[in-house]
């Protein structure tokens, strides 16, 4: 009987060690291109103001939206039609803001997507056509010209007699696929670079150092250096001075294991709680009303098989105890417990996300949560 018990303990120990080994080997690795950007290789935001025509009576009220009326008059003046002396009652015109992202190295004549959004009291932009609209950058220069039919992806219907209506999506905002033509390029010559700066999307000292080490190992020279948590600078080796693209291709394909800060992210609006893998809490007991939760370690001894050279192994396993009695009392415990054990215990009891958020914030306030709490 004792032998059978020992074998069971040994099996449990081996399983526990196997799980731990698997967890270590399963640490996620990422390519540098997925966690960082090359400085200078970036999008540029464009913006413009234009008019959409051809709406089915769902445009701006010209009488109440003055800028839409003035824009319409100005557009008609450009094509030789004088409409300033007459009364304009059009309902199929809408003033919109037009936005787009100009990709890095976009060449003259290439096309980009644009987004249009109503400025006035237009009800629906479905089926309208954007009239040629210049798109400017932050420097005031025109980089693209947008025009085309708007697709909203929304559904809006109603019955004016009964006053009922159905609305799904946002019909006052839409997109024009490939709706703008690039007219001006942003000058940027890669081969003129002597240093390449790599900007981390999630700055971290450990991650930036690992990126620098991986690049130096690939090149065989100490040309990469982590200068701060968010930047790694790379001096371009002489053999790549005339082929920066090849160097950047090799660098961005290198794989490293990003490090991350222990953090708990809480969305109070939706009740979502996201817990990082490195989040730890000190040993503690929690009481909520008549509910007490206690988490502790239980030593598990695994004996080797008879006539073998194995050693006796002691493995600690977490034990979650729950007392829902009226006389439940709190008990202060030691340090070292994983937050996942606490969350699993609370979830098993059906604790709501709101209560879980309150409990985590109380643990942090008491100094037992070894992580940052970010509320969004």
C-alpha dist (Å) from residue 153 to 45, 119, 167, 174: 23, 19, 12, 7
Per-residue pLDDT at 185: 92
Which among 39, 49, 44 has a CA at the least distance from the CA of 138? 44
What burial class does residue 295 get, using C-beta atoms within 10 Å of its C-beta: 0-12 exposed, 13-18 middle, 19+ buried? buried
pTM over 0.75: no
User: Among 7-11, 126-130, 159-163, 249-253, which stretch is predicted with the lowest mean pLDDT?
Assistant: 7-11
Mean pLDDT to the nearest integer, 162-173: 73
- Residue 13: CB atoms within 10 A of its CB come to 19
Per-residue pLDDT at 355: 75
Per-residue pLDDT at 299: 64
DSSP one-letter string for 117-152: EE-SS-S--TT-EEEEEEEE-TTS-EEEEEEEE-B-
Mean pLDDT to the nearest integer, 329-345: 55
At 63, the pLDDT band (50, 70, 90 cuts) reads: confident
At 156, the pLDDT band (50, 70, 90 cuts) reads: low
Task: Encode pLDDT of 130-153 as tens digits.
Answer: 999 999 999 999 999 999 999 987
Q: Which residues contact 80 (CB under 8 A, 6 or more apart)?
A: none
Per-residue pLDDT at 75: 85
Give first-to-last CA distance, the chain, whole Å.
56
Q: Which residue has the higher pLDDT, 208 or 358?
A: 208
- Angle, alpha carbons 224-230-233 (nearest 5°): 20
In contact, 89 and 72? CB cutoff 8 Å: no
Q: Which residue has the higher pLDDT, 79 or 5?
A: 79
At 88, the pLDDT band (50, 70, 90 cuts) reads: confident
Per-residue pLDDT at 348: 64
Average pLDDT of the chain?
79
Q: Which residue has the higher pLDDT, 274 or 353?
A: 274
Per-residue pLDDT at 328: 44
Per-residue pLDDT at 90: 80
At 10, the pLDDT band (50, 70, 90 cuts) reads: very low
Which among 32, 56, 91, 66 has a CA at the least distance from the CA of 213? 32
Per-residue pLDDT at 295: 57
Q: Which residues contact 48 (CB under 8 A, 6 or more apart)?
A: 97, 98, 99, 133, 134, 135, 136, 146
In contact, 285 and 330? CB cutoff 8 Å: yes
Mean pLDDT to the nearest integer, 51-65: 88
- Residue 89: CB atoms within 10 A of its CB come to 8
In contact, 241 and 281? CB cutoff 8 Å: no
Per-residue pLDDT at 292: 59
In contact, 122 and 173? CB cutoff 8 Å: no
User: How far apart are the C-alpha atoms of 32 and 254, rounded to whole Å?
Assistant: 6
Per-residue pLDDT at 80: 81
């Amino acid at each position: 009987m004792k032998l059978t018990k020992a074998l069971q303990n040994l099996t449990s120990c081996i399983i526990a060690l196997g799980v731990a080994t698997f967890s270590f080997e399963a640490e996620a690795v990422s390519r540098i291109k997925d966690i960082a950007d090359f400085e200078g290789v970036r999008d540029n935001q464009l913006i413009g103001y234009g008019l959409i025509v051809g709406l089915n009576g769902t445009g701006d009220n010209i009488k109440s939206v003055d800028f839409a009326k003035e824009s319409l008059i100005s557009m008609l003046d450009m094509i030789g039609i004088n409409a300033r002396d007459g009364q304009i009652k059009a309902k199929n015109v809408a003033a919109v803001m037009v936005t787009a992202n100009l990709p890095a190295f976009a060449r003259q004549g290439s096309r980009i997507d644009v987004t249009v959004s109503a400025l006035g009291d237009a009800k629906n932009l479905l089926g309208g056509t954007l009239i040629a609209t210049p798109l400017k950058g932050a420097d005031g220069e025109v980089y693209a010209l947008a025009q085309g039919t708007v697709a909203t992806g929304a559904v809006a219907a109603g019955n004016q007699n009964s006053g009922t209506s159905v609305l799904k999506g946002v019909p006052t905002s839409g997109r024009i696929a490939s709706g703008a033509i690039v007219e001006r390029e942003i000058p940027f010559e890669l081969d003129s670079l002597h240093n390449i700066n790599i900007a981390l999307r999630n700055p971290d000292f450990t991650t930036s150092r690992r990126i620098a080490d991986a690049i130096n190992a690939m090149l065989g020279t100490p040309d990469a250096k982590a200068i701060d948590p968010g930047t790694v600078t790379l001096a371009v080796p002489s053999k790549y001075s005339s082929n920066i693209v090849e160097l950047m291709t090799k660098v961005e394909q290198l794989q490293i294991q990003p490090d991350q800060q222990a953090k708990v992210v809480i969305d109070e609006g939706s009740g979502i709680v996201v817990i990082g893998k490195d989040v730890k809490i000190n040993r503690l007991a929690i009481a909520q009303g008549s509910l007490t939760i206690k988490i502790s370690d239980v030593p598990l001894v695994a004996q080797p098989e008879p006539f073998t050279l194995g050693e006796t192994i002691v493995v600690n396993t977490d034990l979650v105890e729950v007392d829902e009695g009226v006389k439940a009392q709190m008990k202060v415990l030691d340090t070292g417990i994983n937050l996942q054990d606490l969350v699993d215990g609370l979830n098993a009891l059906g604790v709501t996300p709101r209560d879980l958020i309150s409990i985590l914030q109380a643990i942090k306030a008491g100094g037992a949560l070894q992580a940052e709490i970010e509320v969004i």
